[in-house]
Amino acid sequence: MNEKILDVRNLKMDLMSTRGIVHTVRGVDLTIHEGEIHGIVGESGCGKSMMVKSIMRLHDESRCLYSGNILLHGSDILTFNRKEIMDMRGKEISMIFQDPMNSLDPIMKAGKQIAEMLRKKEGLGKTEAWERAKVLMEQVGLDPVEQRMQQYPFEMSGGMLQRVMIAIAMACRPKLLIADEPTTALDVTIQKQILNLMLRIREKYNMAIIIVTHNLGVVAEICDRVSVMYAGEIVETADVKELFDHPAHPYTEALMRSRPSNGRRGQRMTTIPGEPPKLSETIGGCAFAPRCPFAEEKCKEACPRLTEAGEHHLAACFRQDRAGKTEE
């Protein structure tokens, strides 16, 4: 196993909203190793994006409360002051956001935005930063480089914008890259190109990558390990092949069954009955219990923690012997 880069322990994040306190992240445990690509999957609203933004300390801290630990090379990010947080972002951990059009400055040329990152974080001069930006443009496949450097975001396609975001994120060669839904709103061909680019980045720099997605196909294609989130918690973590072949949590099994399949043309898609719990309410037991076909009384009273369900396989379920074995 490669060196441990990130170790998240019992991370909680409560957010103050107009409807009161929302428990968006509820006791997450997550470990990321050097050079691995780790997928985070789950239904919309399960807390995937809120969790990775917590790792970066991107929330408005006048409206949220953190607890637990986020250990980056052994140092707890939750104890960092503002300067330490700013130094960490971009150099130690970088993030690619869901919507590159809204993440880039609309009135600044693409090349200058990459160069500005290098000037601010690496202390490079204007000319040197510009030349390094051109190299990054070339590495992410933005040709012809000179033309792309001079373009504004509105002159680029969604795939080009995502490549600019990747160039900015990898400019300082961080140890960890977080990609939040990096292929959303891109057509299948461009999705494949972006995923292949991430594989090349990992190979070239031995960079760890967290990919947040609801697309199980993306997970199967690119990830080494995967964690499944439900209602603000990670309920299962395993090597990707192990998870697809032997899911150990009923929610993971339900997700697998709800995938579109060419073998079910003309048939109704399988859905998960019920709906996720409201995160503004206190959840006493297992959050999935009201929707689980295997739920027992203790599932409603106590919340299971992640325990071993096999080699390098963790699941938060009291009945792992029954999980993933839906009755006919």
What DSSP string runs through 167-220?
Answer: HHHTTT--SEEEEESTTTT--HHHHHHHHHHHHHHHHHH--EEEEE-S-HHHHH
Position 263 scores a pLDDT of 54
Position 172 scores a pLDDT of 92
244, pLDDT greater than 80 = yes
Residue 85: which H helix or E strand, with range?
A: helix 82-91
* Fold of domain 4-101+173-263+270-315: Rossmann fold (3.40.50)
Cβ atoms 91, 30 nearer than 8 A: no
pLDDT, tens digit (0-9, with 9 covering 90-100), for 146-173: 999 999 999 999 899 999 999 999 999 9
Is pTM beyond 0.75 here? yes
12 - beta bridge partners? 26, 67
- Domain boundary assignment for the chain: 4-101+173-263+270-315
Q: Stretch 34-60: mean pLDDT, rounded?
A: 94
Position 13 scores a pLDDT of 96
User: Sheet of 37-41: strands edge to edge?
Assistant: 93-96, 176-180, 208-212, 37-41, 225-230, 233-239, 313-315, 307-310
On average, the pLDDT of the chain sits at: 91
Cβ atoms 62, 74 nearer than 8 A: no
pLDDT, tens digit (0-9, with 9 covering 90-100), for 97-151: 888 888 899 999 999 999 999 999 999 999 999 999 999 999 999 999 999 999 9
185, pLDDT greater than 70 = yes
Structure tokens, 279: 């995160």
Position 321 scores a pLDDT of 56
214, pLDDT greater than 90 = no
322, pLDDT greater than 60 = no
Report the length, in residues, of the chain. Answer: 328
Distance CA 145, CA 124 (A): 20
